[in-house]
Amino acid sequence: MVTLYRRLPRVEYVQPKTIEELLALRAQYAGKGALLAGGTDLMPKLKRREIEAPGCLIDLKGIPDLAYISNAEGDGLRIGALATLRAIETSALIQATYGILSQTASSMASVQIRNRGTVAGNLCNAVPSADTAPPLLALDATAKLMSQKGERIVPLDDFFIGPNKTVLSDDELLVEIQVPRVLPHSRGVYLKLTQRSSMELAVVGVAVMVSARNGVCENIKIALGAVAPTPMRAKRAEAVLRGQHFSEELIEHTARTAAEESRPIDDHRATQEYRRDMVEVLVKRAVIETISP
């Protein structure tokens, strides 16, 4: 039996005004309540009945001051749960110091979606192609999770556990994304491969952060999207370059290693083989771009 629905399923809607209230609701509804941030992932999924309808949508947007983007103590970036993709894209602070993030945000969806969609929602939705994940992984970001029981800080690398699966439990909230300070001589880039040039999910996404001095790769982080059940770090590939002098040969070796590390699948967007080949192409390009003058 098939019905192609135009309407949303019948759900309740609540808008708590404080985090405490929200966490209480979260605990109360347990698996039966879904957090609603920008709704740009949740609404289409509900309309297409890709997920079971929750009894209630718990809207975060009633809570004041969750949309912050700050670098208050100069010890790293803090992104509140309600910071939108558009805010990340246009924030002067981010453009100046974490350019890879604004560049990534601008590659996503449309202005309308970016006006609503949040970074936190992008991470919590946890699709393998989530664009903000690779740059945040490459930046060594952590997620601050909160529930009535308390807080915990989870490295983003441990946050994703499968397609649409994270370590978040039913009563938790991701309140903040924390990004450590970047060294002054490091640079990053996110390369997103798509068939068209906009309104596309990544066929392959590659983020690279490199700190280089005097032709030596002091540190490198490589993260990949859409080529494994979760966004992933390519740690073996990083090891190939870390501490070495950049050379074309080594960069190619790094790129090949990243491709080997990836675990893509065939789907209607691309074949496994193409995705793997493209990891190699994009990692190489990304490394070269970060070290080019």
Partner 1 sequence: MKQITVTVNGTVYELQVKSWATLLDMIRDDLGLTGTKEGCGLGECGACTVIMDGKTVNACLVLAPEADGKEIITIEGLSRGGQFHPVQEAFMEQGGIQCGFCTPGMILSTKALLDENPNPTDEEIRRDMAGNFCRCTGYTKIFESIKAAVRKGDT
Partner 2 sequence: MEFSVIGKHVPRVDAPEKVTGQARYAADYSLPGMLWCKVHRSPYAHARILHVDTSRAQRLPGVKAVVTGKDFHGWSWGWMPETRDEPPLAVEKARYLYEAVAAVAAIDEDIAEEACDLITVDYEELPGVYDPEEALQDGAPLVHEGREKNISIEYHWNFGDVEKAFAESHIIREDRFCTSRATKGYVEPPAALAYYDPAGYITIWPAKQSPYFHYRHLAACFKLPLNRVRVIQPFIGGGFGGTKNDSVAGDFCAVLLSKMTGKPVKFVYTQEEELTTSRRRHSMIVYNKMGAKRDGTLTAVQTRVIADGGAYTAIGPLTMYLAGFATTLPYKLPTYKYDAYRVFTNTPIGAAMRGHGITHTRFACEIQMEMIAEELGIDPVQMRLRNAIDNPKPGTMYETINKVTLKTCGIKEALNTVAAHPLWRDKDKAPQRRDNISWGVGLSGTAYLGGARQRGHQSCGAIVRICEDGTVNLLTGATDCGQGSDTVLCMIAAEELGVRLKDIAIKRVDTAYTPCDPGSYGSRVTILAGQATQMAAADAKRQLVRSAAETWEVNPEDIEIKEGVVFVTTDAQKSMPFSKLARIACYSGSGAVIIGTGYSGYGVEPLDFDTGMGNGGTSYSFTAQLARVGVDMETGKVQVTDFVIAHDGGRPLNPLGAEGQNEGGAIQGLGQTIYENFIMDKGKTLNPTFLDYKMPRTTDVPDIQVIDIITDDPDGPFGAKEASEGSIVSTPPAVVSAIHDATGIWFTELPITPEKIVKALKEKGDKKGHGSVREAKRMKERQET
Ligand X SMILES: Cc1cc2nc3c(=O)[nH]c(=O)nc-3n(C[C@H](O)[C@H](O)[C@H](O)COP(=O)(O)OP(=O)(O)OC[C@H]3O[C@@H](n4cnc5c(N)ncnc54)[C@H](O)[C@@H]3O)c2cc1C
Q: What does 11 bind: partner 2, ligand X, partner 1, none (CB cut-off 5 to 8 Å by kind)?
A: partner 1
Q: Pick from 91, 97, 102, 118: which binds ligand X (CB under 6 A)?
A: 118
Q: How far is the CB of 162 from ligand X (least distance, A)?
A: 14
- Could you say which DSSP state residue 186 is in? E
102 binds ligand X (CB under 6 A): no
Are the C-beta atoms of 208 and 138 separated by less than 8 Å? yes
Measured between alpha carbons, how far is 156 from 138 in angstroms, rounded to an integer?
10
Q: Which single residue is written with the structure tokens 């393998």?
A: 128
195 binds partner 2 (CB under 8 A): yes
Contact letters for partner 2, residues 25-54 (x by CB under 8 A): -----------------------x------
Are the C-beta atoms of 246 and 217 separated by less than 8 Å? yes
The kind and range of the H/E element at 228 are none
Are the C-beta atoms of 177 and 154 separated by less than 8 Å? no
Are the C-beta atoms of 179 and 141 separated by less than 8 Å? yes
Q: How far is the CB of 276 from partner 1 (least distance, A)?
A: 28
Q: What does 125 bind: partner 1, partner 2, ligand X, none (CB cut-off 5 to 8 Å by kind)?
A: ligand X
Q: Are strands 186-193 and 204-213 parallel, antiparallel or unpaired?
A: antiparallel
Q: How far is the CB of 168 from partner 2 (least distance, A)?
A: 25
Query: Could you please report the per-residue DSSP string of 45-95?
Result: HHHTT-SPPPSEEEEGGGSTT-S-EE-TTSSEEEEETT-BHHHHHH-HHHH
Q: How far is the CB of 164 from partner 2 (least distance, A)?
A: 17
Query: Could you please report the per-residue DSSP string of 133-184?
Result: HHHHHHTT-EEEEEETTEEEEEEHHHHEEETTEES--TT-EEEEEEEEPPPT
Select from 2-10, 31-39, 228-236, 272-280 the region that touches ligand X (CB under 6 A): 31-39
Q: Which residues bind partner 1 (CB under 8 A)?
A: 6-13, 15, 36, 38-40, 43-44, 47-48, 57, 59, 61, 86, 106, 109-113, 115-116, 197-199
Q: What does 174 bind: partner 1, ligand X, partner 2, none (CB cut-off 5 to 8 Å by kind)?
A: ligand X
72 binds partner 2 (CB under 8 A): no
Are the C-beta atoms of 121 and 127 separated by less than 8 Å? no
Which residues of this chain interact with partner 2, rule CB under 8 A?
A: 1-7, 10, 48, 193-201, 268-271, 274, 277-278, 281-282
Which residues of this chain interact with ligand X, rule CB under 6 A?
A: 34-42, 44, 81, 85, 108-109, 113, 116-118, 120-122, 124-125, 130-131, 168, 173-174, 201
